[in-house]
Amino acid sequence: MTKNLTTGSPMKLILGFTLSTLFGLLFQQMYNMVDTMIVGKLLGAQALAAVGATGSVNFLIIGFCCGVCSGFAIPVAQRMGAGDHEKLRRYTANAAYLSAILAAVMTVATGLLCGAILTLMDTPADIYRDSYNYIFIIFMGIPVTCLYNLLAGVIRSLGDSKTPVFFLAFSAVLNIVLDVVLILYGGLGVAGAAIATVAAQGVSGLACLVWVALRFPILRMSREERTPDPVLCRDLLGMGLPMGLQYSITAIGSVILQAAVNGLGTLYVAAVTAGSKVFQLLVCPFDAMGSAMATYCGQNAGAGQMDRLGRGVRDCALLGLIYSLVAAAAMAAFAPACAMWFIDPEEAELAALLSLSSRYIRVSAAFFFPLALVNILRFSIQGMGFSVLAVLAGVLEMFARAAVGRWFVPALGFEAACFASPAAWICADLFLLPACVLCIQRLRNRWSGTGRDSVGRIHLPRLRMGAHG
């Protein structure tokens, strides 16, 4: 059930891993897309805006949890590449303990602060109640979010990118069924959409847990291997916390931008919500490339295969460029049709809403290649073990979005909001490009002092993960 990414063609390995991961991400996006489509079509623009107004804070909190759990899986990938299966199991056990603590703390904290967060974001009064109901339920689902993301990350670290896809496919279908039952027949409104999302993700998390227990003998642990280890926990936190903070720091800028858009009125919030849902679907390939590069670079860094790191980054960047050009051309022609997936044809301000959403989609798509580089370079750096550098890139994104939201959106309006994310991506790339080159060179320098064991495996000096960026 495991796969070694340290041998063979980098392009072929990365493409195969990306494609299988992509299907999983597409199914995952179906959660949010189905929620939004049903809400927008059946409950109207006001309910659509209520869900959309929570998007940035959703990304801030849920993104942090997902990032931390995904970061916990990187040491697993490095130990897999190094062939150190005992340490791999010990890292997995300690990651599970830390994830459980994270889930408990975040669930309680966000539940208590949910109302204050929406107030600080200047959520319009006419959608406040629906926004609160939606995001509160999502926050209460943080434990299942952590469960799925940790287990899916571990499974991918072992080279199996396909299995999580099957579970997400089933969960996506379940999400659709629950949406129909809870919204159409249960009359629960936006709360029903949130319940459906949490329940479906819970099913995918439990499915991953059962699969790991049954199909991965490499993870069957002795009592000693299950013992909490402060040193390993420190390593895991050194990798996971920077990765989670990267998402949250980036999201802080999004929260400030969302607050600025909220100030423009419900029509603009609904337009950005519809456009953002199309955008989230279109960028799934970039997320898949990032996931592939984290595992690829993690295994190859652990195995000491330094020459393969740069080749992998270049090959993946080429894939990102090709997809970016195709997606931008497609959105230039079909942005209005895509926006209509989330807009009620009977909406009173249909023409204005459609025009605004299409503009948002087209501007974002025109800058897809800078976004592709952000994902590829950031996750490559994290896979190599330099998480702190990835966080610094997130800081640049935060400042760029925050600056646009704070100063340009109030002055220039919706046009400035459309260019906020592209500005953030370009700022991040200006840092990530030289940082990636530096990381590879630093590992090469360390490689010069390594030795080989009896089977030719390279032994790198122990990296202080998360602390040497």
User: Is residue 317 domain-resident?
Assistant: yes
User: Is residue 453 domain-resident?
Assistant: no
Q: Give how many domains the chain has, as a whole number.
A: 1
SS3 461: coil
User: Is residue 389 domain-resident?
Assistant: yes
What does each of the 469 residues of the chain score in pLDDT, given as a tens digit?
556 777 888 888 888 878 877 776 776 666 666 666 777 776 777 777 777 778 778 878 888 898 898 889 888 887 887 778 888 899 999 999 999 999 999 999 999 998 898 888 778 788 888 889 999 999 999 999 999 989 988 888 887 877 877 887 788 788 888 888 888 888 888 888 889 889 988 998 999 999 988 888 888 888 888 899 999 999 899 888 887 887 777 667 677 777 788 778 878 888 887 888 788 889 889 988 988 898 888 888 877 788 899 999 999 999 999 999 999 999 999 998 888 877 767 766 778 888 889 999 999 999 999 999 999 999 899 888 887 887 888 888 888 888 887 788 888 888 888 898 899 899 999 999 999 999 998 888 876 654 443 333 334 334 333 333 3
Maximum pairwise Cα distance, the chain: 74
User: Is residue 187 domain-resident?
Assistant: yes
Helices (H), 265-306: 266-282, 284-303
Phi-psi region of 134 (alpha: psi -120 to 50; beta: other; left: phi over 0): alpha
User: Is residue 454 domain-resident?
Assistant: no
For residue 91, give the amino acid letter: Y
User: Is residue 2 domain-resident?
Assistant: no
User: Is residue 462 domain-resident?
Assistant: no
User: Is residue 226 domain-resident?
Assistant: yes
Residue 243 neighbours by CB under 8 Å, 6+ apart: 67, 68, 70, 71, 74, 382, 387, 390
Q: What is the DSSP code (8-state) at residue 460?
A: P
Query: What is the span of the domain harbouring residue 21?
Result: 15-447
